[in-house]
Structure 1
Amino acid sequence: MSNPAPDLFDAALAVRLQAHAPYSGFRVGAAIRADGGRIHAGCNVENAAYPQGQCAEATAIGLMVASGDRRIAEIVVVGGDAGAGVLCTPCGGCRQRIREFAGPDTPIHVYDAGGHRRTFTLGELLPFSFGPDNLGF
């Protein structure tokens, strides 16, 4: 499976530092390469009312849409501590959010903050998904 260009990892790692995570201390950064090549990066934003928080992937997707892009070519997610070897895959809600703008073959590269990586396809993380094609789009 393909390796992401270093610029995508660098963008996710850098935006991770901007995360607002005062409650969990778990910072996450996500960077999307849209099908036109532009990069959109976002971080997690926690809230004292926990259900109101926002994942890094959701932030990056919102920025992508606000910038006029609509298709995800690949995505990088960086979470956890350097050297821990624990990878931060997108949560179930974010997998569905990604599915809105990506197909089953879209690569999702997950890292810890030290660069330990594994790549999945969206189809591996969200098999038999419900998406726009189910509604005729």
Structure 2
Amino acid sequence: MDEKLLIKKAVKAMENAYAPYSGFKVGACVLTSDGTEFTGCNIENASFGLTVCAERVALFKAYSEGKRDIIALAVAADVDEPVSPCGACRQVMMELSPDALVILSNRDGSKVMRTGPGELLPYGFKL
């Protein structure tokens, strides 16, 4: 797995973000065990509760295509330090990619943090 390439793809995905309200663009790239990659970006809505984060877009794209063995998820945002996923994304990661490597990055990949869903959301909700 090429972490730098995943980060580059997450950074590139930021270009497609629809963030007219917050101006906060985020991109993500999911890697599955067979090497398939899925990118996502945040998509805002005037009804803020309908906004969807980049991480969930990428994970949902993978799942909707039948790819369930997620091994890594890179997330990048237009910030100086590595971006931190929101609580909703952390919960989705816990369920859809509990063993994945989560790579958090800043706007150009110059600052990176490696973690996992369990570290991001200890005691996550499970049925």
The TM-score with structure 1 as length reference comes to 0.84
The residue aligned with 1:102 is 97
**Counterpart AA for 1:111:** S
The residue aligned with 1:68 is 66
Query: Retained in 1: the 8 A contact 2:11–2:108?
Result: no
- Identity score, percent: 34
Once the two structures are TM-superposed, the CA of residue 15 in structure 1 deviates from its matched residue by 0.8
Structure 2 residues not aligned, in runs of 5+: none
Distance in 1 between residues matched to 2:30 and 2:48, nearest whole Å: 25
1:77 aligns with 2:72: no
2:103 partner SS: strand
Decide which of 7, 11, 14 is 2:5's aligned counterpart: 7
The residue aligned with 1:52 is 50
The TM-score with structure 2 as length reference comes to 0.90
1:41 partner SS: strand
State the number of aligned residues. 126
Query: Retained in 1: the 8 A contact 2:94–2:118?
Result: no
1:113 aligns with 2:122: no
Distance in 2 between residues matched to 1:6 and 1:49, nearest whole Å: 35
The residue aligned with 1:93 is 88
Runs of 4+ with >3 A deviation: none
Query: For residues 104-137 of structure 1, what are the alpha-carbon distances to aligned partners after superposition, in whole Å with 9 as ceiling and x for unaligned?
Result: x421111111211111122111112234xxx4xx
Distance in 2 between residues matched to 1:125 and 1:37, nearest whole Å: 24
Distance in 2 between residues matched to 1:27 and 1:7, nearest whole Å: 19
Distance in 2 between residues matched to 1:41 and 1:32, nearest whole Å: 6
Decide which of 110, 121, 124 is 1:126's aligned counterpart: 121
1:17 partner SS: helix
Once the two structures are TM-superposed, the CA of residue 4 in structure 1 deviates from its matched residue by 4.6
**Counterpart AA for 1:107:** L
The residue aligned with 2:32 is 34
Q: Which has the larger radius of gyration?
A: 1
